[in-house]
Amino acid sequence: MPSTGPVKVGIIGSQFQADIHAASMRMLPEQIDIVAVASPTPGNARELADRYSIPHAFTDYMDIVRHPEIEMVTITTPNSLHAEIAIALAKAGKHVVVEKPMCVTLAEADAMIAACREHGVLLMYAEELFFTPKYVQAKKMADNGAFGKVHLVKQSEKHFGPHSDWFWDAQRSGGGALLDLGCHGIAFAYWFLGRPAITSIYTQLGTYVHGDKTTCDDEALTILEFEGGSLGLIENSWARRGGMDDRVEVFGEGGLTLANLHMGNALPTYSEYGYGYAVEKAPTTTGWTWPVFEELWNYGFPQEMAHFARCVRGKDLPQATGEDGRIVLEAIYAGYASAGQGRKIQLPYTPSPNVVRPIDEWHTRRS
Ligand SMILES: NC(=O)c1ccc[n+]([C@@H]2O[C@H](COP(=O)([O-])OP(=O)(O)OC[C@H]3O[C@@H](n4cnc5c(N)ncnc54)[C@H](O)[C@@H]3O)[C@@H](O)[C@H]2O)c1
């Protein structure tokens, strides 16, 4: 494989997040060359390939695994497939970028880490909040002492629920809002504070709005304690009307900063007639809306993809690894255990013996 030039990339999956990866990578022609996409539904991979001028479209992801040119592959499939795909890629010597959450179980996380280590490939955990310009600015100020000692980091991510059926099926997703969105907030607070160990978690959650279609939680409130005494407060919802809401608040003894990801980057807009697109998951473009501009850049996706390419070329060390993804997943198991048992749970946490998926910690214990 070449050690210079654009990194040759494959994408597995062809829908929501695959489109984001492809669009972001296409902004980086000097760093990334997308060679192939694979997705099982006939025609879907081809559509993505045509949209982004990707030479090859496959229905079997093993065609990407076996492709001799491809150096790095991004996994944008349902959570329950992350582990088997990552392990197959590692065995074939491909560097792995895995979307959040890293996988469904801790055993899968361990197997992914071991396979990538054994076969000498990078396992990069795709947490774009580490690249979101507004949030990176907040961390830079905190690291430069702007707020003194930071004792509280709040992160919240909310919308009215995911776009694909598998998210709502606890068997395939592994959990609801806490898993799907809380993985961002937990990773964020941990990273923001400089990666201190998470010592405890308390989560209150439930299914408040979407009980007709899911047993997953659609509202989750989580408090984390970190070694050294700082707190994380993570709010997640699949029951929040009005499109995506993503924000951060940081409090220290000497100051604070507030970052609303979408509002500061939007144009307060009123339209009787509507227009093409406002923001992720917004249900309408009529009346008052807040269309964003440069949405991918504001999230940090192109910056994240550029970072992964630099890692493959040995110019950067991964911002987030399989070990980080595993730490987040362990906290999520403990969060569901907290909700199931109605108490604060200490970490490190070993899942209960009768539990497979994170959400089982709640389902098997709730009264
Ligand atoms: N970082 C983020 O902000 C973010 C946002 C959305 C989704 N995600 C993550 O990305 C992943 C995908 O989510 P999505 O929203 O794109 O889901 P999606 O339902 O829109 O797309 C899933 C894709 O996986 C494909 N797929 C299913 N089985 C497959 C198989 N055996 N081989 C290859 N492809 C297969 C589907 O055909 C589809 O193309 C999830 O893990 C999700 O949590 C991350």
CATH number of the domain where residue 153 is located: 3.30.360.10
Q: Quick one: pLDDT at residue 1?
A: 65
Q: Quick one: pLDDT at residue 250?
A: 95
Residue 112 resides in a domain: yes
Q: Per residue in 22-61, pLDDT tens?
A: 999 999 999 999 999 999 998 999 999 999 999 999 999 9
Out of 77, 81, 166, 178, give the residue to mutate to test ligand 1, the one with the largest number of ligand atoms within 8 Å of its CB: 77
Q: Round to whole Å and give the CA distance between 80 and 345.
A: 26
pLDDT of residue 283 exceeding 60, the answer is yes
Which residues lie closer than 8 Å to 129 by C-beta, 6 or more apart? 135, 155, 184, 187, 188, 191, 300
Q: State how far Cα 116 lies from the chain centre.
A: 20
Contact 70, 35 (CB under 8 A): yes
Q: Round to whole Å and give the CA distance between 233 and 222.
A: 6
Which residues lie closer than 8 Å to 190 by C-beta, 6 or more apart? 196, 198, 226, 232, 324, 327, 328
pLDDT of residue 367 exceeding 70, the answer is no
Distance 37 CA to ligand 1 centre (A): 13
Q: Are residues 145 and 94 in the same domain?
A: no
Closest CA to 38 of 21, 3, 62: 62
Q: Per residue in 126-143, pLDDT tens?
A: 999 999 999 999 999 999
Sign of torsion over alpha carbons 326, 328, 330, 333: negative
Q: Round to whole Å and give the CA distance between 134 and 263.
A: 11
Pairing mode, if any, of strands 269-271 and 123-126? unpaired
Q: Are residues 236 and 166 in the same domain?
A: yes
Q: Per residue in 53-88, pLDDT tens?
A: 999 999 999 999 999 999 999 999 999 999 999 999
Residue 282 resides in a domain: no
Domain region containing 51:
7-126+309-316
Instruction: Report the pLDDT averaged over residues 186-212.
Output: 98
Q: Per residue in 227-256, pLDDT tens?
A: 999 999 999 999 999 999 999 999 999 999
What phi and psi values does residue 299 have, to the nearest 5 degrees?
-75, -30
Q: Which ranges in the chain belong to alpha helices (H)?
A: 16-26, 44-51, 62-65, 82-91, 106-118, 133-143, 165-168, 170-173, 177-180, 182-192, 295-299, 301-312, 322-341, 360-363
Q: Are residues 24 and 38 in the same domain?
A: yes
pLDDT class for 265, splitting at 50, 70, 90? confident
Q: Are residues 234 and 193 in the same domain?
A: yes
Q: Are residues 209 and 339 in the same domain?
A: yes
Q: Round to whole Å and give the CA distance between 58 and 337.
A: 40
Q: What CATH number did the domain enclosing 55 receive?
A: 3.40.50.720
Contacts 24+ apart (CB under 8 A), 240-243: 240/158, 240/159, 240/160, 241/160, 241/283, 242/160, 242/282, 242/283, 243/159, 243/160, 243/278, 243/279, 243/280, 243/281, 243/282, 243/283
Q: Are residues 121 and 136 in the same domain?
A: no
Q: Are residues 74 and 222 in the same domain?
A: no
Sign of torsion over alpha carbons 327, 220, 168, 238: negative
Q: Round to whole Å and give the CA distance between 153 and 189.
A: 6
Q: Are residues 190 and 334 in the same domain?
A: yes
7-12 β-sheet, strand order:
56-58, 32-38, 7-12, 72-75, 95-99, 123-126
Number of folded domains in the chain? 2
Tokens of 113: 């880490």
Q: CA end-to-end span of the chain, whole Å?
A: 56
The answer, as to whether pTM is greater than 0.85, is: yes
Question: Is 233 in a helix, a strand, or coil?
Answer: strand
Q: Residues near ligand 1 with C-beta < 6 Å? A: 12-18, 38-41, 44, 61, 76-79, 81, 99-100, 126, 128, 164, 180
Closest CA to 193 of 247, 245, 154: 154
Tokens of 122: 């990078």
Residue 278 resides in a domain: no
pLDDT class for 266, splitting at 50, 70, 90? confident
Which residues lie closer than 8 Å to 326 by C-beta, 6 or more apart? 102, 106, 109, 110, 113
Q: Are residues 196 and 333 in the same domain?
A: yes
Q: Are residues 170 and 254 in the same domain?
A: yes
- Hunting for tokens 């009346």 — which residue is that? 287
Tokens of 160: 């009215």
- The residue contributing the CA closest to ligand 1 atom 37 is 39
Residue 270 resides in a domain: no
pLDDT class for 4, splitting at 50, 70, 90? confident
Residue 139 resides in a domain: yes
Q: Are residues 62 and 201 in the same domain?
A: no
Out of 11, 15, 54, 184, give the residue to mutate to test ligand 1, the one with the largest number of ligand atoms within 8 Å of its CB: 15
Residue 321 resides in a domain: no
- The residue contributing the CA closest to ligand 1 atom 40 is 78
Residue 304 resides in a domain: no
Instruction: Report the pLDDT averaged over residues 203-215.
Output: 98
Q: Quick one: pLDDT at residue 153?
A: 98
Distance 254 CA to ligand 1 centre (A): 42
Residue 188 resides in a domain: yes
Q: Per residue in 339-350, pLDDT tens?
A: 999 999 999 999
Out of 39, 73, 125, 332, give the residue to mutate to test ligand 1, the one with the largest number of ligand atoms within 8 Å of its CB: 39
Q: How many CA atoms, within 13 angstroms, populate the side-chain half-sphere of residue 349?
A: 30
Q: How many CA atoms, within 13 angstroms, populate the side-chain half-sphere of residue 172?
A: 9
Q: Are residues 114 and 77 in the same domain?
A: yes
